[in-house]
Chain A
Amino acid sequence: MTFTKVNNKVVRVDLNQSGPIIARRGAMLFYTGTVHFSPHQVPGAGGIPGMGGITAMAGRIMQGEHEATMIAQGNGVVHYGFRGLETHIVDMSAGGELRVEASRLLAHTSGLQSAVVQASAAPAAAGGGGGGLLGALRGAATGMVTGTGMFTTQLSGYGAAVLLAHGGIIELQVGGPAPVFVDPQSFVAALGPVRTDLKSTMSWRNAGRTGGESLQLECTGQGIVYVQASEEKL
């Protein structure tokens, strides 16, 4: 395992084994050995087709899908933690795709390609929220409701990543006989080709009588969704 847990909230990584590590800026707690930290480029530069360079970056910052990152290189052991939040290690040594909010990503190995994709899109079929304009609109609505923006970070390739969550994480398998629904504010990440669609159970008939669960993310496809034990946003 590239990352190992020291306790619930701190992970350690040996750079000799893992290679360079990209982490959220300011998340390093302490290190031993000779390690250099330098600013890392904005993840997924040019990730959105037809929107290159500066425009894409401005768009992402506007949508909140941007966290300053740093890259750690050298020989040594680095410990990472952030604001006392629980960490969760996702092993992607067998390869795969992980979609996660930038604000909930603590660190990942540099072998993973990061890109910014539309929040509702399944990795297999871009523009997944219904396609075209409707999909984009739905994506924007998801973002507005969840406060997470209409884009999300996608990591793909071979390696490992560390997620952040308030109150710990549970893993739910998607693809079984029963459909899986997640509270948008508790959704942390999805591993594998999982498609998330915002679903509303609100109608004129039950307005104000939905028990506070009127909006849900429906997860379909094959994979794992990570859910935190809290409705707290990061």
Chain B
Amino acid sequence: MRLLEKSKRVIEAQLGNTSIRALSGSMVAYEGQVSFKSAGFGGGEGVLAGLRQRATGEGLSLMEASGTGVVYLAHRGRNVTVLDLNNETLQVESEQLLALNGNLSTNVAFAGVRGGMSGQGLFTTTVTGTGQVALLSSGGPLIHLEVSPQYPLVVDPDAFVCAKGQLTQSFVTDVSWRSAIGQGSGEAFSLKWDGMGVVSIQPAER
């Protein structure tokens, strides 16, 4: 049940009587005996998860592919990247998640006040445990940026994809009288990351 990058835009998942979870509808082809069923939402299990999805807007509909064979996953021709998690927590934008394997669990967490004005919600999806995550990025491969205590990182909330490590996020606004009269730079809201870890962005804005 390893996830491999078959090409820049296709993930290959090898199943040996095991299962993976992937974005609903993302299968493009498979070989062998594989069955697909709905695996609920990213916010955990059951009815509560559905409600949480409605309430938070972190919409993530997953399916479970199980059986023996090879499954090819892709979504709208976007680039794919596989990340390894070793008993870690990844904060990720739900729409950038393509597939998960192993003992990873997903949840929706309150991420503090950020991006509320730019439509990037107050909630974020977290992926916790040990295993592999396949992420999507538009405009090219993911760009990994290191964050250390001396060097905090500020990113555009529309380009943010995921963050891993001991990080705290805060919301930076740069609103002045210029924005009010329509002379803003277009970068009025930014996401600041402090601590130790890696933040990944995509070379495109949602």
Contact = CB atoms under 8 A, between A and B. Distances in A.
A, B: real partners = yes
Interface of A: 86, 166-168, 170, 172, 176, 178-183, 186, 201, 206, 208-214, 225, 227-232
B31 A176 contact: yes
A230 B34 CA distance: 20
B63 A172 contact: no
Contacts of A166: 76-77
Nearest to B35: A201
A206 B37 contact: yes
A229 B77 contact: yes
A225 B31 CA distance: 12
Given A183-B29, A227-B72, A231-B76, 18 more contacts: A166-B76, A167-B76, A168-B10, A168-B77, A172-B29, A178-B70, A179-B31, A180-B29, A181-B29, A201-B35, A211-B39, A211-B62, A211-B63, A212-B24, A229-B9, A230-B28, A230-B74, A230-B76
Contacts of B38: 208-212
B33 to A, nearest CB: 8
Interface in B1-56: 6-10, 24-25, 27-39
Interface residues of B, number: 33
B78 interface: yes
Given A179-B31, A231-B25, A213 B63 contact: yes
Contacts of A227: 28-29, 72
Contact of A228 (B25, B30, B33, B77): B77
State the main secondary structure of chain A at its contact with B. loop
Contacts of B75: 230-231
B36 A201 contact: yes
State the main secondary structure of chain B at its contact with A. strand
Residue from the set A166, A180, A208 with the largest chain B CB neighbour count within 10 Å: A180
Contacts of A167: 9, 74, 76-78
B64 interface: yes
Residue from the set B10, B39, B63 with the largest chain A CB neighbour count within 10 Å: B10
B28 A228 contact: yes
B24 A211 contact: yes
Nearest to A181: B30
B69 interface: yes
Given A166-B77, A170-B72, A230-B76, A210 B36 contact: yes
Contact of B74 (A172, A186, A210, A213): A186
B7 to A, nearest CB: 6
Contacts of B74: 167, 186, 228-230
Contacts of A170: 6-7, 10, 29, 72
Contact of A212 (B25, B34, B35, B70): B25
